[in-house]
Amino acid sequence: MTEDTTFDPSQYDTTITRTFDAPRETVWAAWTDPEQVAEWWGPEGFTVPHCELDVRPGGTFHIDMEAPDGTIYPDAGEILEVEEPDRLVLLSRAFEDEDGKAQLEVRNTVSFEDEGGRTHLTLQAEVLSATPAVEEALGGMELGWTGSFEKLEEYLDESGVTGT
């Protein structure tokens, strides 16, 4: 990034859609049950050694992603809205600085639409605040979510709940 470039975190806002061949209640459970989330969360090659979810408005979550090189990337925040099984809104905070202040804050709105036994999922990630120090991570956000959705699709296929 050059010095004369203004950093605008909102340019990284993204919307991703995917239709899963599984019932909406099953996909909802995969997003709200910590044991299931740990099976698919994060891009390819990442694992989740720790996952806590308190799925209620005002509840919290804490998910540690472990990169292939062993680096832990903690993601924590608050659950803002729960409309089972239609909508889930999470306020995610990550990349704490030396003072413990999050350098990235993203509002993730996840919508689950029933399509005759399949689930059309829409994720809207709105970057509320970010520092230039996390610009590289922001640049990979869409790719990371896409990888997570691919892992979710594989997880649902392997669990035998899909129609394929």
Residue 74 is predicted with a pLDDT of 93
Taking only the tens place, the pLDDT of each residue in 87-143 is: 999 999 999 999 989 999 999 999 999 999 999 999 999 999 999 999 988 988 999
pLDDT confidence band for 2 (50 / 70 / 90): very low
Can you give the three-state secondary structure of 25-55, one letter per residue? HHHHHHHHCHHHHHHHCCCCCCEEEEEEECC
Domains of the chain: 9-158 (3.30.530.20)
| ∠ CA 155-19-17, rounded to 5° | 105
Please state, as a whole number, how many other Cβ atoms lie within 10 Å of the Cβ of residue 30.
Answer: 23
Residues 89/78, Cβ–Cβ less than 8 Å: no
Q: Which residues contact 136 (CB under 8 A, 6 or more apart)?
A: none
Helix (H/G/I), strand (E/B), else coil: 136:
helix
Taking only the tens place, the pLDDT of each residue in 41-62 is: 999 999 999 999 999 999 999 9
Residue 6 is predicted with a pLDDT of 78
pLDDT confidence band for 80 (50 / 70 / 90): very high
